[in-house]
Amino acid sequence: QKEVEQNSGPLSVPEGAIASLNCTYSDRVSQSFFWYRQYSGKSPELIMSIYSNGDKEDGRFTAQLNKASQYVSLLIRDSQPSDSATYLCAVIQDTGFQKLVFGTGTRLLVSP
Amino acid sequence: DVKVTQSSRYLVKRTGEKVFLECVQDMDHENMFWYRQDPGLGLRLIYFSYDVKMKEKGDIPEGYSVSREKKERFSLILESASTNQTSMYLCASISRGNYGYTFGSGTRLTVV
């Protein structure tokens, strides 16, 4: 079983809708979770981090963490065509060395 | 803003060549990482370093080595390039106690 799993998509949503991206992880001791956005041909950029169960909101983005069920999700409200990108879920594997393990990403397409 | 600079955006090398990929960060970060990214496989950790002259193997170190002679610079070396090392290479750095990686812009390496 992969350590971090994401549906590869593409996930297609119309402009203005809510996009919901999901991620599951296998290591129960993981404590820190991240969402990165990667545009085609570009490097990943950090958009959200979450460490505690529950929701964390930042502008149009909300990260949700459920450690009991081992999943983390990202909601994008009022989706825009500029949100079209691949979203990578990442989990800290080793808190000492701060090694991140990445999912393979979900491609999001927001149509005008 | 933290800046992580990778020396080349695109690189084409011949099979058997020794290849150097350079990464420099300007924020005095202790930890630096080299990942490669391939379609369907996501980001995979090659090597990382937590201090000058200190290095640790990641998940796929075979065929690679690294060098960290100065804190700001972390080099990835392909001792004898092979076609299966054609990939996007991403360098990242992070300060201890902070979990948000900053990525460089990436080097797309093609080995022919």
A99/B contact by beta carbon, under 8 A = yes
B50/A contact by beta carbon, under 8 A = yes
A49/B contact by beta carbon, under 8 A = yes
Q: What pLDDT was estimated at residue B71?
A: 94
CB atoms < 10 A from the CB of A59, how many? 10
Closest partner residue to B101 (CB to CB) among A42, A46, A103 is A46
Q: How far is B45 from chain A (nearest CA, A)?
A: 8
H helix or E strand, kind and range, residue B12: strand B10-13
Q: What pLDDT was estimated at residue A14?
A: 97
Q: What pLDDT was estimated at residue B14?
A: 97
Question: How far is it, in rounded angstroms, from Cα B79 to Cα A74?
Answer: 40
Cβ-count burial of B108 within 10 angstroms (0-12 exposed, 13-18 middle, 19+ buried)?
middle
pLDDT in tens, A25-81: 987 777 789 999 999 999 999 999 999 999 999 999 999 999 899 999 999 999 999
Q: What pLDDT was estimated at residue B99?
A: 65
Q: What pLDDT was estimated at residue B91?
A: 97
Q: What pLDDT was estimated at residue A88?
A: 96
More confident: B53 or B99: B53
Residue labelled with tokens 């750095």: B93
Contacts of A56 in chain B (CB under 8 A): none
Contacts of A43 in chain B (CB under 8 A): 90, 103-106
Q: What pLDDT was estimated at residue B100?
A: 77
Closest partner residue to A98 (CB to CB) among B42, B94, B104 is B94
Contacts of B50 in chain A (CB under 8 A): 97
Contacts of B101 in chain A (CB under 8 A): 34, 44, 46, 100
